[in-house]
Amino acid sequence: MKEEFILNNLRIKNEVISIKRLQELQADFDKTEQDGNLSNNEVFRSYIGNFKFQVPESLPDSKYIVVLAIEHNLAKVNFHLNGQKHEIIFSSPYHELGVSVEEMGKLVERDIIKETGYKVEHNRAMHLKLLAVRSGLGRYGRNNICYVDELGSFLSIYTFFTNYDFQDDNWYDLKMLDECEDCSICYDNCPTGAVSEDNFVIDIEKCIPLYNEIQGEFPEWFQSDIHSSLMGCIRCQQYCPANKKAVEKIIRLEDITEEETKMILDGRLEEKLALSIGRKLKMFDNVKHAEYYLPVIKRNLEVLLN
């Protein structure tokens, strides 16, 4: 039942999967763990947490999960410094989507379920890529990232449990994109070797976002020229043939002024400037988050400017 919708000028595709498949989904994940393909890196483990494929206690009569893939475009932002303008790419997961969970929930009720009297509940405590691929909404790239037809890999996945019965039994193989079979672009462009030809699961401990989206010093093995984004990394996606259309839809964020750039690089936090930066980057709207993210931006920006 794959359909497409437009919400706030963003394309959304969807699929559904029965909760009868939850045990099989959990078995998929458990096998990956048992095969030793999941790193014990502390940061990585904090991301995957104790996610389980299970029915939420708040909606015990759930029958299906609605899986949404919504385009989340790359952004470019200009940082002004010493009379010069520096254009920097900002990877999509780190700036706001422009659509709220509430709006997506209403879309599910109005345009997908289309009947009144049913409950819908957002839930992110699952392994979303796996869920999207098994539902038939997406497929894996060789870089272990989820791709959706026409959206590429620059997207966000959202899931909603519902007690509506779609009477579909979607269950697809864990399949890689056909384009990946004879292509080496992603691992040729990965500067750290996190993506390899031989192993479908990436070496997360070599993956740049694991280090440049949190506070702290970079590992000694990091080279200054490996960075491609203000946060995160797009090297394995930027030149991917499956992203040919998606990379053309880069959005432009508001310029960061000279005064704001200098505040970042000086390691200062002036509330008015900090909140202005957060608004322009569509990243944070309070001082507490600014206190965490500005040191991260400072460290990354210094590398990119040099």
Pairing of strands 251-252, 139-140: unpaired
Q: What is the pLDDT of residue 131?
A: 97
pLDDT in tens, 27-55: 999 999 999 999 999 999 999 888 899 99
Cα–Cα distance, 55 to 92 (Å, whole number):
29
> Which tens digits make up the pLDDT trace of 295-306?
999 999 999 998
Please name which of 171, 166, 167, 160 lies closest in space to residue 128, comparing C-alpha atoms. Answer: 160
pTM of the shown model: 0.94
| pLDDT tens-digit map of 82-93 | 999 999 999 999
The tens digit of pLDDT for each residue in 228-287 reads 999 999 999 999 999 999 999 999 999 999 999 999 999 999 999 999 999 999 999 999
Dist. CA 44–CA 77, nearest whole Å: 28
Mean pLDDT across 194-223: 93
Residue 173: predicted pLDDT: 95
pLDDT for 1 beyond 70: no
Q: Cα separation of 157 and 72, whole Å? A: 10
Q: What is the pLDDT of residue 167?
A: 94
Model confidence pLDDT, tens digit, residues 121-141: 999 999 999 999 999 999 999
What are the tens digits of pLDDT across the range 64-84? 999 999 999 999 999 999 999
- pLDDT for residue 17 is more than 70: yes
Please give the torsion angle defined by the CA atoms of residues 202, 155, 95 and 303, in that order, rounded to the nearest 10 degrees.
Answer: 40
- E strand segments, the chain: 3-7, 10-18, 64-71, 75-81, 84-90, 120-122, 139-140, 146-147, 155-162, 251-252
What secondary structure letter does DSSP report for 204?
G
**Is there a contact between 234 and 189 (Cβ–Cβ < 8 Å)?**
no
Residue 75 near residue 214, CB atoms below 8 Å: no
Strand partners, 12: 5, 70
The mean per-residue pLDDT over the stretch 213-233 comes to: 94
Task: Give me the residue spans of the domains in the chain.
Answer: 3-253, 254-306
Tell me the β-bridge partners of 75.
90, 251
* Per-residue pLDDT tens digits for 138-190: 999 999 999 999 999 999 999 999 999 999 989 999 989 999 999 999 999 99
